[in-house]
């Protein structure tokens, strides 16, 4: 097993650099990915969790020691059978930590010499055909809220080419029934932007909104009746 054990615990940095690095990332997905990648790096190469002391030890290494350590980590990832894309993400997490530390004067080296792996580009990204999409949506039962929601999600993915994360972050409050538009927070964006919807998506989202409000009204009425009955 490839590992390098740091010396006895060093005096903790006056800053938890790992926490600061993750806080500096806007995207929750990036924070989760980097947190996972950095934990894997430290556990794999030092057998220590990425505590402030372990991070301080890594950042105090000489340039060539650090580069050699990260190159060995890259080799270890390949031995585990991880894809080049996954390996590159893990390396990006480590590089991001080093770059952040350099900016605030806590590290004197960089990892520019550690190159990522070549990732084969997908040749066909056209997705399914319109006929296949119609066949898929025709199987959805629209007599229940779940079915209508599933159909709306597929329409947003198909009509507006939204990313999965963009769809997952949506809320009914993001839909404007007045101008029939939807507010989404795009990748890497700080604020939401308005997008137009297809007529089919409008019908589905309106149905979800109406049904949700109806169910909330019923629940509120039942709760009120229950309170009256118990008083």
**Per-domain boundaries in the chain:** 17-103, 130-219
Tell me the whole-structure pTM to 2 decimals.
Answer: 0.59
Beta-bridge mates of residue 176:
181
The token duo for 98 is: 């080093």
- Which residues 6+ apart lie within 8 Å of 113 measured at CB? 67
- Can you tell me the distance from the alpha carbon of 170 to that of 160, in angstroms, rounded to the nearest whole number? 14
Task: Write out the H or E segment, with its range, that includes residue 108.
Answer: none
The CATH number of 130-219 is 1.10.443.10
pLDDT tens digit string along 44-103?
Answer: 999 988 888 889 999 999 999 999 999 999 999 999 999 999 999 999 999 999 999 999
pLDDT tens digit string along 4-49?
Answer: 555 444 444 445 888 888 888 878 888 899 999 999 999 999 998 8
Can you give the length of the chain in residues?
A: 231
Q: Taking each helix axis from N to C terminus, what angle separates 52-59 and 28-46, rounded to the nearest 10 degrees?
A: 70
- Can you tell me the distance from the alpha carbon of 54 to that of 25, in angstroms, rounded to the nearest whole number? 21
């Amino acid at each position: 097993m490839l590992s390098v054990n740091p010396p006895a615990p060093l005096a903790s940095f006056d800053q938890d650099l790992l926490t600061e690095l993750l806080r500096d990332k806007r995207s929750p997905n990036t924070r989760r990915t980097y947190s996972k990648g950095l934990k894997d790096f430290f556990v794999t190469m030092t057998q220590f969790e990425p505590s402030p002391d372990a991070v301080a030890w890594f950042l105090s290494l000489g340039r060539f020691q650090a580069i050699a350590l990260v190159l060995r980590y890259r080799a270890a990832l390949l031995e585990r059978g991880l894809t080049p894309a996954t390996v590159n993400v893990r390396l990006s997490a480590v590089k991001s930590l080093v770059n952040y530390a350099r900016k605030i004067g806590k590290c004197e080296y960089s990892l520019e010499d550690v190159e990522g792996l070549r990732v084969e580009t997908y040749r066909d990204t056209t997705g399914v055909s319109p006929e296949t999409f119609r066949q898929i949506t025709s199987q959805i039962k629209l007599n229940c809220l779940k079915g209508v929601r599933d159909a709306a999600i597929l329409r947003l993915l198909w009509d507006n080419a939204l990313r999965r994360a963009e769809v997952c972050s949506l809320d009914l409050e993001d839909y404007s029934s007045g101008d029939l538009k939807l507010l989404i927070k795009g990748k890497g964006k700080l604020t939401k932007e308005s997008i137009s919807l297809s007529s089919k998506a409008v019908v589905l989202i309106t149905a979800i909104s109406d049904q949700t409000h109806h169910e909330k009204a019923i629940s509120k009425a039942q709760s009120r009746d229950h309170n009256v009955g118990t008083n």
